[in-house]
Chain A
Amino acid sequence: MPPRSKDTNLVLLLSVALLGWLIPGAGHFLIKERARGIIIFVAIVLTFAIGLYIGSVAVVNPVTGKIAYAAQIMNSPFVAVIGRITIDNHYEVFGKPNEIGQIYTSIAGLLNLLCIVNAVYLAHLRKTQPAGA
């Protein structure tokens, strides 16, 4: 039945997107693109970790760094926990470490958004194109 198949496709696409957001690269892993998934996971987690190393957890600040936070949250919903820790403990960072740390963590988030879109696109192509096409 076509409507059921369409629903299944939508569920798959949503699962790929959600998993890719929860853990960078997991969306690709779900559609059996394991090598891509591992490369994406390592690259994005390392980029985010370097950002935290340079600027400390204070670079993730939902109050004073709203624009950067919007990009940072694309890494994973767990970034919200770091934001909570920053606010609760009043961690602050200024100057170059803040700038560079925010750039690293924000770009990691935007790269993960690119990967989520790519994983969803690949999942959609596989569902709509016949095998071997």
Chain B
Amino acid sequence: MSFITTGIMANLITPERIGVTGLSMLWLLPLSLSIAVVYKATKVKEIRAVNFIRESVVLFGSIVVFMAVIALALFALAWLVT
């Protein structure tokens, strides 16, 4: 038990190593999922498992696709300018 507690405490006072790489962008995925789930939890009239999951997934997909499109547009703009 104390081993688990020590492990949790160690994780909470030691930051993760995250490099300045493209892979670090993947951290946006859990955040986008959380935003989609909480937003839909406040918006849907009645919480039904299938309907709620479908709506959350659609919103999550929309966020990810829209951000990817913006990233590509900004990348193209930077490529044209430089």
Instruction: Identify the A interface with B (CB < 8 A).
Output: 35-36, 39-40, 43-44, 46-47, 50, 52-58, 89, 91, 93, 95-98, 100-101, 103-104, 107-108, 111, 114-115, 118
Q: With a CB–CB cut-off of 8 A, which chain B residues contact A100? A: 18, 24, 27
Instruction: Given A96-B20, A104-B31, verify A43-B38 contact (CB < 8 Å).
Output: yes
* Other 9 A-B pairs with CB < 8 A, given A40-B41, A111-B34: A43-B34, A44-B34, A56-B13, A97-B17, A100-B18, A100-B27, A107-B31, A111-B39, A115-B41
Residue of A nearest to B10 (CB): A56
Q: Is A54 in contact with B47, judged by CB distance below 8 angstroms?
A: no
Chain A minimum-CB-distance residue to B17: A97
Name the CB-closest residue of B to A117.
B42
CB <8 Å contact, A36 and B41: yes
The 0/1 profile, CB within 8 Å of A marked 1, for residues 5-45 of chain B is 00000011111111110001001001100110111011000
Question: Is B31's CB under 8 angstroms from A47's CB?
Answer: yes
5 contacts between A and B (CB under 8 A): A36-B41, A52-B12, A56-B14, A57-B12, A97-B16
Task: Identify which of A44, A50, A53, A96 contacts B38 (C-beta below 8 A).
Answer: A44
Smallest Cβ distance from A3 to chain B, in angstroms? 31
Q: Are A54 and B34 in contact (CB under 8 A)?
A: no
User: Which among A46, A100, A101, A107 has the highest number of chain B CB atoms within 10 Å?
Assistant: A100
Interface pair B47/A56, CB less than 8 Å apart: no
> Which A residues are in CB contact (< 8 Å) with B24?
96, 100
